[in-house]
């Protein structure tokens, strides 16, 4: 199982490395998607609408990176929808 995460999640958006990190994250997601045939399942977290805004305190911790339980519940639902008997 491979997971592709949203690319916009950055805690240091103002730093000089932020753009570079976004590029690396986008490249990693692209590589995961391009090799999706190598995996049994691809769970695309960036396709879960509620996880698109890292400023949403319902789903993200204060560091804007780590998920809260409601986000984990959404991810679990996405896994269950994709994998018949996880």
pLDDT digits (tens, 9 = 90+) for 21-58: 778 878 888 888 888 888 888 888 888 999 888 889 99
Its pTM surpasses 0.85: no
pLDDT at 50: 94
pLDDT at 28: 84
Of the candidates 49, 57, 43, which has an alpha carbon nearest to the alpha carbon of residue 5? 43
Residues 6+ apart with CB under 8 A from 39: 1, 2
Residue 77 has pLDDT above 80, yes or no: yes
Rounded to whole angstroms, the Cα distance separating 60 from 54 reads 6
Which band of pLDDT confidence, cut at 50, 70 and 90, is reported for residue 75? very high
């Amino acid at each position: 199982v491979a997971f592709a995460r949203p690319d916009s999640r950055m805690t240091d958006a103002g730093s000089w490395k932020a753009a570079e990190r976004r590029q690396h994250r986008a490249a990693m997601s692209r590589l995961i998607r391009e090799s999706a045939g190598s995996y049994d399942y691809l769970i695309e977290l960036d396709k879960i609408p509620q996880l698109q805004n890292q400023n949403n305190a319902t789903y993200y911790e204060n560091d804007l990176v780590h998920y809260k339980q409601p986000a984990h519940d959404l991810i679990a639902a996405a896994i269950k929808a994709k994998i018949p008997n996880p």
